[in-house]
Chains A and B, each alone.
Chain A
Amino acid sequence: MSKSFLEVDGLSKVYPDGQGGELTVFEDIRFALEKGEFVCIIGHSGCGKSTILNVMAGLDEATTGNIVMNAKEVIGPSLDRGVVFQNYSLLPWKTTLNNIVFAVRARWPKWSKEQVREHSERYLKMVGLDHALDRKPSQLSGGMRQRVSIARAFATQPELLLLDEPFGALDALTRGVIQDELVKIWEETHQTVFMITHDVDEAILLSDRIFLMSNGPHARIAESVKVNIPRPRARATIFQNPAYHKTRDYLVDFLINRSGSALPDEDGKPRVIDPSDVASATEASKPETSAKAVNA
């Protein structure tokens, strides 16, 4: 059996429910990521997406199951797995530059001062912040802070990047700009990325595949949807591609109608979906349902 870059096998998380019982947030989570893939995960609140990501980061522990990356089991946090948190998590007493330097130095302790600085500045330039090197996070807007946080994660060149709803706290305009920047950096670096989002359009713009989670408790990763849209993609033009609408309709339909009951394949792995095949089926079923609605 050929091993993928990262394999998640049978992950579950059980919390005490406070009344002597137990609450299984998610169970039997199985999936694999290939090197260089950009994968988004979408699901309703409470399905445990963030917990899955934290377990992958090594910041949290699953109740059962394990994660293997590069043929090594994931135990505890590591510089091989970079994390971008929703609330940026910049160190507020350090300047923009020093927040990056902090990470770069941790990654390559033997580098000279100049080397560290040069490397850090390069990544800040990628996110367009080379003019704000000496400002403290409190002097930056939310969008700028998240850029610093993204630059910090990319600068350490981790093998796997974990993004926990990185744009959740940003307004729509800023979000769009940074999405484009993320696409740009990713196309330069081809890092493996696993990202949580609530935004269907964002997921389509960025991902190679999109995982769909069913609702918690007992949430599963039910489906893995391929995004058949060629790169490079851009926010301004992506909606002209017919596959975009098919994919979007499919995702929205899942989230609204099917996330309560969807189940993965028999073997526990997410059902692989190509919306360009399925979409015709859902479209075919549409007139039928609307006709029923009219009859009723």
Chain B
Amino acid sequence: MASTNVRAALLSVVFLVLFLGIWEFGTQVIAPQENLSEYEMLMGGADEEARVPPPSEIIQHAIYELSDPFYDRGSNDKGIGTQLAYSIYRVLTGFIGAMAIALPVGFLIGMSPLMYKALNPYIQVLRPISPLAWMPLALFIIQDSEKSAIFVIFICSIWPMLLNTAFGVANVREDWVNVARTHELSPVRTAITVILPAAAPTILTGMRISIGIAWLVIVAAEMLVGGTGIGYYVWNEWNNLDLASVIFSILMIGVVGMLLDLALGKAQSLVEYKE
């Protein structure tokens, strides 16, 4: 008997083949029954274009794009790799900025019930705001679309990290804190050698949620600000009515999102401990 993994992989392939097969045959070009009218000819005989492209075409397009992912032929024609790199750069910059604020503040809130009570109302009001709602204000204050996009990433990734850090720090087992106390560790050393490792798995969970949200938001943010990035690319290809590119870039968004999550997941498994 094959193991569950092998059987699951086989089943996955079967689903993929079925899905692509149905898609492929469902989007065959229908040969025009009668001659096109003059008007239809004028409109470009658009029947062939007015359909979702079949997978074969998308695979061809993917091979073409991925064979030279970093080309640059002017501001409206950059390779998919370049566009993704812009998006990743923005996400990471905003994410790291958020980390720099969320981790220390989370520690503070987690360790001090007073600070928790004082800051909690603000967090509860600010947290549910859609990050894109900040965009106009950010554009007005920062006056730079690139930085505004980074700010939007910053603001959306800060909350899960902040709350998880606070939660993780506040819920460190009292026994472990007592161990630090009986060994006369200073507050700073206690924070670094006991509380940080004890709360690390919870903190990493927050970071993982944050990077997921950041990657969701960057696409929308770049559709708004334009210029570069995978969000802009998708919208631009839609304006070009190049659906193969649109579908291909949707797939790439998924793949990169998965890789980001895998990276954080790996980091999480490094700090995980069993009691």
**Residues of chain B within 8 A of A92, CB atoms compared:** 273-275
Bound-state Cα–Cα, A58 to B182, Å: 8
- In the complex, the answer to whether A77 meets B175 with C-beta atoms within 8 Å is no
Sort chain A's interface into a size bin: 20 to 34
Q: Which of A106-125 contact B (CB under 8 A)?
A: 106-107
> Within residues 9 to 34 of chain B, which ones have a CB less than 8 A from any CB in chain A?
none
Q: Give bound CA distance, A138 to B273, whole Å.
A: 8
A226 proximal to B (CB < 8 A): no
Residues B162-196 near A (CB distance < 8 A): 175-176, 178-179, 181-185, 193-194
- A83 partner residues in chain B, CB cutoff 8 A: 178, 182
**Complex Cα distance A58/B197, Å?**
25
Give bound CA distance, A128 to B273, whole Å. Answer: 25
A136, CB-defined interface residue at 8 Å:
yes
Residues on A with C-beta less than 8 A from B184 are 77-79, 106
- What residues of chain B lie closer than 8 Å to A81, measured between beta carbons? 182
Cα A76 to Cα B275 in complex, Å, equals 28
Cα distance A83–B174 when bound, in Å?
Answer: 14
CB atoms of A106 and B178 under 8 A apart:
no
Q: Are B274 and A91 in contact (CB-based, < 8 A)? A: no
Contacts of A41 in B (CB 8 A): none
Tell me if B198 counts as interface (CB < 8 A to partner A): yes
Q: For B182, what are the chain A residues with a Cβ–Cβ distance below 8 Å?
A: 57-59, 77-79, 81-83
Question: For the complex, is A89 an interface residue (Cβ under 8 Å from B)?
Answer: yes
- Give Cα A92 to B185, complex, Å: 18
Report chain A residues within 8 Å CB of B198. 91, 93
Find chain A residues with CB under 8 A from B197 CB. 91, 93
What is the 8 Å Cβ interface bit string for chain A, positions 85-105, against chain B (1 contact, 0 not)?
Answer: 101010111000000001100
> For the complex, what is the distance from the CA of A210 to the CA of B6, rounded to whole Å?
64
Category for how many chain B residues contact A:
10 to 19
Contact for A103 among B176, B183, B194, B273, CB less than 8 A: B183
- Complex CA–CA separation, A83 to B181 (angstroms): 11
| Nearest opposing residue in chain B for A80, CB measure | B184
The answer for the CA separation of A222 and B175 in the assembled complex, in Å, is 30
**Closest residue to A156 on the B side, CB-wise?**
B183
A79: chain B residues at CB < 8 Å are: 182-184
* A58 / chain B contacts, CB cutoff of 8 Å: 181-182
User: Judging by beta carbons under 8 Å apart, are B176 and A89 in contact?
Assistant: yes
B183 engages A91 (CB within 8 Å): no
The reply to whether B273 and A136 contact each other, CB–CB distance below 8 Å, is yes
Q: Which residue of A lies closest to B275 (CB)?
A: A92
Of A76, A87, A102, chain B has the most CB atoms within 10 Å of the CB of A102
Is the beta-carbon distance between A87 and B175 smaller than 8 angstroms? Answer: yes
C-alpha spacing A101/B182, complex, angstroms: 15
For A78, list chain B residues within 8 Å (CB).
182, 184
Known: A77-B181, A78-B184, A83-B182. A138 touches B274 (CB 8 A): yes
Minimum CB–CB distance from B24 to chain A (whole Å) comes to: 51
Chain B residues within 8 Å of A138, by CB: 273-275
CB pair B274 A107 closer than 8 Å: no
- Residues in chain B near residue A136, CB distance under 8 A: 273-274
Instruction: Please name all residues of chain B whose beta carbon is closer than 8 Å to the beta carbon of A93 when the two chains form the complex.
Output: 197-198, 200, 271, 273
Q: Which residues of A contact B271 (CB under 8 A)?
A: 93
Report Cα–Cα, A138/B274, bound state, in Å.
Answer: 6
Residue of A nearest to B183 (CB): A106
Which residues of chain B from 260 to 275 have any CB-CB distance to chain A below 8 Å in the complex? 271, 273-275
Q: Contact check, A106 vs B185: say whether CB atoms are below 8 A apart.
A: yes
Q: How far is the CB of A42 from chain B (nearest CB, A)?
A: 24
Cα distance A149–B160 when bound, in Å?
36
Q: Restricting to A50-91, which residues have a CB under 8 Å from any CB of B?
A: 57-59, 76-79, 81-83, 85, 87, 89, 91
Q: What are the residues of chain B within 8 A of A77 when measuring CB–CB?
A: 178, 181-182, 184
18 more CB-based (< 8 A) A-B contacts, given A79-B182, A82-B182, A156-B183: A77-B178, A78-B184, A79-B184, A81-B182, A83-B178, A83-B182, A89-B179, A91-B194, A91-B198, A92-B273, A93-B198, A93-B273, A102-B183, A102-B193, A103-B183, A107-B183, A136-B273, A136-B274
Q: What are 21 residue pairs bridging A and B, where the CB atoms are less than 8 Å apart in the complex?
A: A58-B181, A59-B178, A59-B181, A76-B181, A77-B178, A78-B182, A79-B182, A81-B182, A85-B175, A89-B175, A89-B176, A89-B178, A89-B179, A91-B176, A92-B273, A92-B275, A102-B193, A106-B183, A107-B183, A138-B273, A138-B274
The 4 closest A-B pairs by CB, nearest first: A138-B274, A106-B183, A93-B273, A89-B175
